[in-house]
Structure 1
Amino acid sequence: MPENLARIHKLLRQQAAIASFGSFALSEADLHKVLTEAARVCASGLDVSFSKICRYRAEENDLLVEAGHGWKPGVIGNVVSRADVSSPQGRAFVTGEPSISNDLRTDTTFELPAFYAEHGIISTVDVVIPIKDNQPYGILEIDSDIQHNYDQHDIDFLTGFANVLAEAVATSARTEILQTTIQEMKTLVAEKDRLLDQKKVLAEELQHRVRNNLQLIYGMLTKQLDDTNDETGQRGLRAIARRVFTLAKVYENLLGTEMTHATDFGRYLESLCVNLAEIQDANTDHISMTCHSASVTLDLDMVTALGIIVAELVTNSYDHAFPDGNGAIVVSLIVDPDVPGRATLAVRDDGQGFAEKVGSKRHGVGLVRRLVEQIGGDIDFVSEKGTLWIITFPITTFEMGLPSAA
């Protein structure tokens, strides 16, 4: 009866050891610590002085001691045997069945490394550490310098423990893959950010150069105007200079932004109107210019076309609407929520009115109509107590840098 009671206590202690180790293994990310603790718990659970965990290496076809308990320095980290039937652990690995050697002194079938004799090892038990749907991880072995006659209960304890250890190994492998994947993703994200920063710098440099070159061309055209006495030639040069100036303002508006294919047209329009007033002749000092603009993001082609349209219509008012040199010009941009996908651009003056004549040589108005057609818009004008140009055009929304129909 006392013997049975001792056996029951031992089984309960072994079951508690498996449960405790399972909790530890699930909370510990370091596989080496998990293996080392497994070796200690196994040795304690079977009341032996030594234990070790051997990892199978496929290329070398051997078993390497990854962790252990009780061994002198030099054992852990070295190969214990070939993965074949020439050793206790090799036989267990090859057959997939537990290998029991109650007395190695009388078993001459094995080739044992020297450290078995150095530690006085007499009895061993080896079980496979399985990995589901994969090559077994290796071998769990307990070793004793005192002869033991191991029974099925001992085998069951080691087998159950090896199964728990196998899950810990598999979890560690999955975690390592996940961490590797995360690190690779971080590397890719860092590289993407580096390329985006590089692209941003190059885009800003390009914008600077384009803007500066356009301003240089504008300055050259303005200088040519001073040297040209022909009125027709002056009108042509002014028209070209005005359009170059409008393009330069597009790039000036882009500077300092991260966007490469779209910009806030409202902000650009207000800046353009201020500059259009500044570049007029001195005899326009009594003509006021005001701008009221909603904020709407448009692609650069649309912004460029609308900028030229505004420049042409505003300059047309400056040149022809106010023979006495007095008046007002108002530019407005309206986005009506009740009219989805469309915006309205209006250019109004309180001058003498405008009547478009068939065969007129005023190329600016013709250019305006062509540009409105190009952007898919509509244009109309009212000449009553001045002139009102009304341009409606489609708008798009930009989300995450990608255009989509509004």
Structure 2
Amino acid sequence: MNDGEQDREADIQGLLRQQAALAQFGELALKGERLDEILTQACRLVGQALGTDLAKVVELQADGQTLLVRAGVGWKPGVVGVATMKLSESSSESHALRTGEPTISANIEDETRFEYADFLKDHGVRAIMNVAILGSEEKAPFGILQVDSREPREFCETDILFLKGYANLLAAAVARFRSLDEMRRKEKELERALVECRHGAEQQNFLARELDHRAKNMLAVLQAALRLTKAQDVPSFVQVLEGRVAALARAQNMLAADRWQGADLFEMLRDELASYLDGSSGPQAELDGPKLMLPATVVQPFSMALHEMATNATKYGALSSQTGRLRVSWKAGEDGVLRLHWVESGGPRLHGPPDRRGFGFRVLTNTLRAQLGGTISMGWEATGLICDLAVPLACTRAP
């Protein structure tokens, strides 16, 4: 094996380690019950994936100016849970939080932009990469994921993309725990109110069961997406996974906005196809149907099905070409069945069904048939995909 082949083999092994770390951490983030444990394991996995001795998560404190080493691996006693850093114009951490982009110092001894904490130098750190762990739109960033190397190192583009995707998963895990803490806080407030008004006991029990049911459904869907998503490389894996998580998040937001009563089908489609409804050269997608509120039990699984169809159209179908067009029409009959007609045209010519059918196809078939009790008919015409969906709205199956 020559040097070039050895380098390629090393790159492949590195990507495999990074994908394995993403998959392991994704499963841990869904199952873990203690945030400190999850943060520590996150540091361990990222250090293994990138081949560094040291890694840490630093948490932004309430004053907005101090970072605490919340978790880490490879550090001497007296660092994790103790060591702090101040945000300033001369700190790389400030730059990472302000820009939202990774900040890298290949050799801190030659660094002229930033100053680094003494405990880093005491541990022999020579190179460092910071990636912000972002919060939601309403929340401040949680902090920063940092990998530290005792050798000077030029982190490559693959390393950067991996760490950004990893930090996004970590942010989702943190958001999950923040949501759980908020839920527990609100539950305590509600319990105090129930002491004063016992007539609300039955309603509270119902809400608690419903919330638990929906949370478990969401986690189950996320776990399936993590396990079944396939990609050729880490950036593709992250992109596909983030798209599926975003589709779930949009469905959750719509349900929450309508107090978990349901969501409007037109709004669901508009959110999913927004960039194709009003493009600079004219719309590529057309929506045609009456205002229709989908029941809460239908919204989440149906949004996933729509996302997979839109993703397929964007990657391989009509929306992958500027000349392509998509028309989606729907109606609800007197029998209480939603019938949706999806027609693609003007894109790449089709030569029949695809040779292989991946996770997206399984989402479509399993969701529509097994979970919603509906039907799906797909025709791969030369001019484009034609798909007919039928979903009963009045009586759906339990997930």
With the shorter chain as reference, the TM-score category is: 0.3 to 0.5
Q: What's the TM-score, normalizing by structure 2?
A: 0.46
**Structure with max Cα Rg:** 1
Q: What's the TM-score, normalizing by structure 1?
A: 0.45
